[in-house]
Amino acid sequence: MRLGWLLVALLIISKFIALMPEAHAIPAHSSQLANEIKVTSDTIRVKLSDLGRVLTIKGTDLSLSLAQKPELGSVQADRWVVDCNRNLIYQPETGKSRAIPRTGVLIESLSGILSVNQRRFRDQLVVYPKSDLNPSCMVVNHLPIEKYLESVVNGEFNSKWAETAVEAQIIAARTYAVYQMKEVRRRSVSVFDVESTQKDQVYLGMDRADSKAAQLVERTKGMVMVSSDKKPIKAFYHASCGGQTILPEQVWGGHFAGFHHAVTCPFCHGSPSFQWQHSLSLSQIEQKIRSGIQKDASNRGFWPDRFLKSPRSWTLSGVTATESEDHRAQDLVFAFTSKTGQALNVAMNAYQARNWLDPAKIKSTWFSLIQKGRSILFSGKGSGHGVGMCQWGAKRMGEKGYTREQILSYYYPGIKIAKAF
Ligand SMILES: [Zn+2]
């Protein structure tokens, strides 16, 4: 390297180091960060989950820069360690540590591949400090949406299923992702578009992608489902409907464009969760309610103050369900008595209550209840929220020779397929 260039490089690096805030200056996290980092329209921002509190980020010639100020230059290294407990990032070789600024640090790899605690990801990671809302730091993976979909294929379904079924599912997953990207960025509320869990779509990084997934993503490149207003729909899908889908309004309220009517589904009766049963004792339910109240502030509103003040002074004596028009449970009604003999009935939306009780065992809200002594038997059908495409049904339709368009228009009646990019 010529001396002049070396001096310029040193100047850039020292400027960058000088601008990194000191370790003690840990700013509060703001939720108003969207669009501070430039994202192109086909780059999706995925919030990664379950990475742990100490992250080792490795790659060939990683470059680290301030996410918001790329013009300040970057520092190269093959390894960075993030200590989320102390909001620090450091190079283990030199031991020098810096606080992670509120706007995040951007780490990218020249080879396009980097790993976080052995899990491999593509392109770019942005690390944000912990905040009042997030007790650990937040890592967001920025990558082209088509590469993201190659991994989602095997996170949400399976590239080895019938091709037309997989193609239909890829189009649904792309549509959901594009909807979220537009919606989140329009509202400017978040530094990520989707979470990497079932809350949005399961994404476990590039080790889940395979050549079949890549081939089928390529075959449907850019395709999304749009409603009559030509906008992508929020393409919900779920594991197995149990024989009948429902509309999103029936689960979450509000209005979702492009969903016109529910459909009967004769295709998923072979699915493992077509019918299920699960039993919980009243004391188990009490315990799950107390933990839900503690962990899930957004659904505490169902519970009256006199219960919230001292949940342990109420004993659960029974649970019943009210039924919606579509024969699913609408509310769960919990009957309590106090030590002084007072009675209290609390109705909670069944979809939310199911998340508190055990969504893996109480697989859907299509269930009935029987109380036997001090235990409640849930007997139900299907798995998941029941909105949009039934994945087991789509799989079966693919096996029977239906095309991807036929599968999609079966579960999303009235949609059209368009190219998003
Ligand atoms: Zn079904």
The rounded Å distance from CA 250 to ligand 1 centre is 17
Decide: 389 and 399 in contact? Cβ < 8 Å. no
Q: How many domains are there within the chain?
A: 3
Decide: 385 and 391 in contact? Cβ < 8 Å. no
Task: Say how many residues make up the chain.
Answer: 421
- Statement to judge: residues 153 and 57 lie in one domain: no
**213/160 Cα distance (integer angstroms):** 8
> Cα dist. 92→62, 65, 128, 131, 417 in Å?
14, 17, 19, 24, 50
The tokens describing 128, both together, are: 């944000």
pTM of the model: 0.84
- Statement to judge: residues 325 and 208 lie in one domain: no
The rounded Å distance from CA 242 to ligand 1 centre is 5
Mean pLDDT of 4-19: 42
Whether residue 10 lies inside any domain: the answer is no
Domain boundary among 92, 123, 144: 144
Q: Is pLDDT at 381 greater than 90 in this prediction?
A: yes
Q: Ligand 1 being an ion, which residues bring their Cβ within 5 A of it?
A: 241, 265, 268, 390, 393
**96/92 Cα distance (integer angstroms):** 8
- Statement to judge: residues 364 and 415 lie in one domain: no
- Statement to judge: residues 28 and 138 lie in one domain: yes
- Statement to judge: residues 158 and 39 lie in one domain: no
Q: Within 13 Å of residue 147, how many CA atoms lie on the same side as its CB?
A: 19
- Statement to judge: residues 201 and 286 lie in one domain: no
Q: Name, in order, each residue with C-beta under 8 angstroms of 420's C-beta and a sequence gap of 6 or more.
A: 174, 178, 222, 223, 224, 232
The rounded Å distance from CA 393 to ligand 1 centre is 5
- Statement to judge: residues 103 and 175 lie in one domain: no
Q: pLDDT for 269-287, tens place per residue?
A: 989 889 999 999 999 999 9
Q: pLDDT for 156-211, tens place per residue?
A: 999 999 999 999 999 999 999 999 999 999 888 789 999 999 899 999 999 988 99
Whether residue 259 lies inside any domain: the answer is no
The rounded Å distance from CA 413 to ligand 1 centre is 15
Domain boundary among 109, 127, 144: 144
The rounded Å distance from CA 265 to ligand 1 centre is 5
Vertex 360: Cα angle to 359 and 365 (nearest 5): 45
- Statement to judge: residues 136 and 163 lie in one domain: no
Domain boundary among 111, 144, 177: 144
Q: Which of 231, 274, 268 is nearest to 382 (CA)?
A: 274
Burial of 344 (0-12, 13-18, 19+ CB in 10 A): middle
Whether residue 396 lies inside any domain: the answer is yes
The rounded Å distance from CA 91 to ligand 1 centre is 51
The rounded Å distance from CA 245 to ligand 1 centre is 7
Position with higher pLDDT, 200 vs 52? 200
- Statement to judge: residues 243 and 184 lie in one domain: yes
Whether residue 218 lies inside any domain: the answer is yes
The rounded Å distance from CA 169 to ligand 1 centre is 14
Chain center to CA of 57? 22
- Statement to judge: residues 35 and 138 lie in one domain: yes
Whether residue 264 lies inside any domain: the answer is no
The rounded Å distance from CA 347 to ligand 1 centre is 28
- Statement to judge: residues 40 and 140 lie in one domain: yes
**Which residue range is the domain that position 43 belongs to?**
17-144
**245/261 Cα distance (integer angstroms):** 9
Whether residue 64 lies inside any domain: the answer is yes
Q: Which range (51-55, 95-99, 174-178, 233-237) has the least confidence?
A: 95-99
Three-class SS of residue 379? strand
The rounded Å distance from CA 292 to ligand 1 centre is 30
Whether residue 327 lies inside any domain: the answer is yes
Confidence of residue 243 (pLDDT cuts 50, 70, 90): very high
Phi-psi label, residue 117: left if phi above 0, alpha if psi -120 to 50, beta otherwise:
left
Decide: 366 and 239 in contact? Cβ < 8 Å. no
- Statement to judge: residues 247 and 395 lie in one domain: yes
Whether residue 158 lies inside any domain: the answer is yes
Q: Which of 177, 172, 154 is nearest to 44 (CA)?
A: 177
Three-class SS of residue 150? helix
